[in-house]
Copies of this chain bind each other. A is one copy, B any other.
Amino acid sequence: MDEKRVSVAVIKRLPRYYRFLGDLLDNNINRISSKELSKKMNITASQIRQDLNNFGCFGLQGYGYNVPNLYKEIQKILGLEEEHNMILVGVGNIGRALAQYKSFEKRGFRFVGVFDKNPDLIGKELGNNKIRDINDLSKFLVDTEVNIAVIAVPRNSASKIVEILAINGVKGIWNFSNAELDIPKSMFCENVYLTDSLMTLTYRLHEDEILKKYS
């Protein structure tokens, strides 16, 4: 019944393919072989072909791949042809930045609501939205279809919000809080742990020293 799942590693590479193909398009390159692309992307041609063949046969033997076509296919695979209604929960530094990020609109991501609990913020403008009271979130979700909730609240407020989202059928969470959210199986959560990312950088900066010490 279940299709065999595509591995996380593959899925994480898809947006990168999409970016490189976009660049090729911008440069009016119409055709590319896995070998050429592999050189540009610094991965093996085998991996490219294997990755793509999880989803279909997009190439042509003896020719390679048609760039506009492959670009379009990956776009479809990534779900970028659909419109995505998003809400923002938590108008802090990060939340504010995301709400004002211009490129989202272009790609069909639209903030349809913005929420915070701070009375000083409620009613103020943010991007195209008036900031709403977080207490009205549940009510709002009844009337408006929302695909993705961007969570940018402090660590300990996050789980309560997930509950509300779950009850109201929001399927996707883009989590910028530092919390490890407990998500029902019907939902999907993509975490952006900024401090984790920064820490892996500081690790690398003194890796040699550390490895010498513990060896």
Measured between alpha carbons, how far is A178 from B15 in the docked complex, in Å?
11
Surface stretch bound by B, among A94-102, A111-119, A128-136:
A94-102
Measured between alpha carbons, how far is A67 from B110 in the docked complex, in Å?
44
B198 touches A174 (CB 8 A): yes
Once A96-B97, A97-B93, A97-B97 are accepted as A-B contacts, the answer to whether A197 and B174 lie under 8 Å apart by CB is yes
Chain B residues in 8 Å Cβ range of A173? 201
User: A205 to nearest B CB, angstroms?
Assistant: 5
Chain B residues in 8 Å Cβ range of A171? 205
Chain B residues in 8 Å Cβ range of A208? 3
Fill in one digit per residue for A170-203: 1 if any B CB lies within 8 Å of its CB, else 0: 0111100010100000001110111111111111
> Is A82 at the interface (CB under 8 A from chain B)?
yes
Once A94-B97, A97-B93, A197-B174 are accepted as A-B contacts, the answer to whether A84 and B190 lie under 8 Å apart by CB is no
A200 touches B96 (CB 8 A): no
Q: A residues bordering B, Cβ < 8 Å?
A: 3, 5-6, 11-12, 14-16, 18-19, 54-56, 76-80, 82, 84, 93-94, 96-98, 100-101, 103, 107, 109, 147-148, 171-174, 178, 180, 188-190, 192-208, 210-212, 214-215
Q: Other CB < 8 Å A-B pairs besides A93-B96, A93-B101, A188-B205, 19 of them?
A: A3-B215, A6-B211, A11-B200, A14-B199, A16-B193, A16-B196, A18-B199, A55-B214, A77-B210, A78-B200, A79-B210, A82-B206, A93-B100, A103-B195, A148-B205, A172-B204, A188-B201, A192-B194, A192-B197
